[in-house]
Amino acid sequence: MFEQSAALRRVKPSATLAVTQQARELARAGRDVISLGAGEPDFDTPQNVKDAAIRAIQDGKTKYTDVDGIPELKQAIVDKFARENGLTYRTSQVNVSPGGKPVIYNALVATLSPGDEVIVPRPYWVSYPDMVLLAGGEPVFADASAETGFKLTAAALEAAITPRTRWLILNSPSNPSGAAYTRAELRALADVLVRHPHVWVLTDDMYEHLVFDGFEFSTIAQVAPELMDRTLTMNGVSKAYAMTGWRIGYAAGPEPLIKAMAKVMSQTTSNPSSISQWAAVEALNGPQDFIPTNAKLFQDRRDLVVGMLNQASGIECATPEGAFYVYPSIRQVIGKTTENGQVIGSDEDFARELLTAEGVAVVHGEAFGLSPHFRVSYATSTDVLEEACRRIQRFCGGLR
Ligand SMILES: Cc1ncc(COP(=O)(O)O)c(C=O)c1O
């Protein structure tokens, strides 16, 4: 009989991938479905990046590479951190993995022993707790609810730290809430960390370039240089350059950690695709002008979605600083009944009934650890977003 390992039994499959899959299956069965579940930009990889990949293939750059990345890409990453974040790293401090996800997982596998704790602000990106569990650690949740703008406060961080804490995971702008930390907010968290030298910080800056209304992005190593020797600054090309399928993520941090991560890769994945690495070199070194253009596009979509969702009966939607998600509350909807007689007892019920009644796929808040909410990804066209929000308004309007 098939049996999952003890480690895997602690883990649940990704809820966001499950919703996308469910929406795809309904669409295949002929239903008119709008999926607001996917976490990927709807625009194409830039042509200069595609051309670099084609050149790499034609030039025979198709063999194994250094396990944790080619020197040219590591240099492009060092340059990116210097140019955009004012951070000084050497190439020996850089890891390139097959996506942002493996960067985080490799760091956790490389550092966690049984019983070690990782502080995960809640709501969280679905994969953090399960990656911690799979790596043998224990996630410890710290509230970052709507009352504090979905941000971890210094007091909540202080309360979550124990002698077993190894890491704090920060994610700004956040998936699922879109919240981004200001310099002052990061400084307040850093002041707590300074008092606890055994706690390291893994900062996931995947959505760095998607910030709105003139918000200035900051990352903790920049705000608190004294934490540099225990911070892993993680990023990737997936979201900023519309390269989700290419699978390139990267991070920079203390050399012993980077070496340990390479050791994990040497016995598991080996290097990320050589072709994708050359494409990423071009993404980071090539023209960057489309980035602010896209950010403006996403800002307009955010405004549309926030406006329309707040007009839906029972929905309260905050205006986030970045990313391409909103995380509205459905507190006032809980306990109501749909036109089909189904009681909405949870955000999971809400998401299911919305999909059944109106063919709109969203991800329930429980998957991100904070209910009753749901996550909307607005990485899709304005027409589609308007139609989806109209359907959500109709669905909510029909609840009694
Ligand atoms: C916050 C966050 N970090 C990391 C990732 C993973 O990125 P990648 O597709 O490069 O593995 C995602 C993707 O959804 C994300 O939302």
Would the pLDDT of 256 be above 80? yes
**Residue bearing the CA closest to ligand 1, atom 2:** 206
Would the pLDDT of 14 be above 80? no
The pair of three-digit structure tokens given for residue 124, joined into one six-digit string: 């969280």
Q: Which of 118, 16, 42, 148 is nearest to 381 (CA)?
A: 42
- How confident is the model over 188-195, as a mean pLDDT? 98
Would the pLDDT of 38 be above 90? no
Distant-in-sequence, close-in-space partners of 323: CB < 8 Å, separation ≥ 6: 173, 174, 175, 178, 180, 207, 210
Name the band, by pLDDT with cuts 50, 70 and 90, for residue 23.
confident
Pocket test for ligand 1, best of 40, 239, 375, 377 (most atoms within 8 A of CB): 239
Q: What angle do CA 360, 33, 370 make, to 5 degrees?
A: 30
CA of 343 to the centre of ligand 1 (A): 34
- How confident is the model over 68-73, as a mean pLDDT? 98
- How confident is the model over 264-276, as a mean pLDDT? 97
CA of 47 to the centre of ligand 1 (A): 22
The pair of three-digit structure tokens given for residue 214, joined into one six-digit string: 């003139």
Residue 34's identity, in one-letter code, is: I
Would the pLDDT of 15 be above 80? no
Residue 14 Cβ inside 6 Å of ligand 1? The answer reads: no
Pocket test for ligand 1, best of 17, 105, 204 (most atoms within 8 A of CB): 204
Residue 353 Cβ inside 6 Å of ligand 1? The answer reads: no
174 Cα nearest atom in ligand 1: 1
Phi-psi region for residue 115, left (φ > 0), alpha (ψ -120 to 50) or beta? Answer: left
26 contacts 359 by C-beta, under 8 angstroms: yes
**Residue bearing the CA closest to ligand 1, atom 1:** 175
103 Cα nearest atom in ligand 1: 11
350 contacts 313 by C-beta, under 8 angstroms: no
CA of 101 to the centre of ligand 1 (A): 6
Report the pLDDT value the prediction gives residue 21, as an integer from 0 to 100. 81
Q: What is the pLDDT of residues 107-117, one digit of tens each?
A: 999 999 999 99
Name the band, by pLDDT with cuts 50, 70 and 90, for residue 331.
very high
Distant-in-sequence, close-in-space partners of 60: CB < 8 Å, separation ≥ 6: none
Average pLDDT, the chain: 96
Residue 125 Cβ inside 6 Å of ligand 1? The answer reads: yes
Would the pLDDT of 13 be above 90? no
- HSE (CB half, 13 Å, CA atoms) of 59? 10
The pair of three-digit structure tokens given for residue 174, joined into one six-digit string: 């956040």
Cα–chain-centroid distance for residue 36? 15
Q: What is the pLDDT of residues 97-140, one digit of tens each?
A: 999 999 999 999 999 999 999 999 999 999 999 999 999 999 99
CA of 125 to the centre of ligand 1 (A): 8
Residue 322 Cβ inside 6 Å of ligand 1? The answer reads: no
CA of 41 to the centre of ligand 1 (A): 12
pTM assigned to the model = 0.96
Would the pLDDT of 268 be above 80? yes
Residue 320: C-alpha distances to residues 32, 147, 202, 346 (Å): 29, 13, 22, 23
Phi-psi region for residue 270, left (φ > 0), alpha (ψ -120 to 50) or beta? Answer: left
Q: DSSP letter string over 14-81?
A: -HHHHHHHHHHHHHHTT---EE----S-SSPPPHHHHHHHHHHHHTT--S---TT--HHHHHHHHHHH
Report the pLDDT value the prediction gives residue 169, as an integer from 0 to 100. 98
Report the pLDDT value the prediction gives residue 37, as an integer from 0 to 100. 86
Would the pLDDT of 19 be above 80? no
Pocket test for ligand 1, best of 19, 127, 128 (most atoms within 8 A of CB): 127
Name the band, by pLDDT with cuts 50, 70 and 90, for residue 326.
very high
Would the pLDDT of 368 be above 80? yes
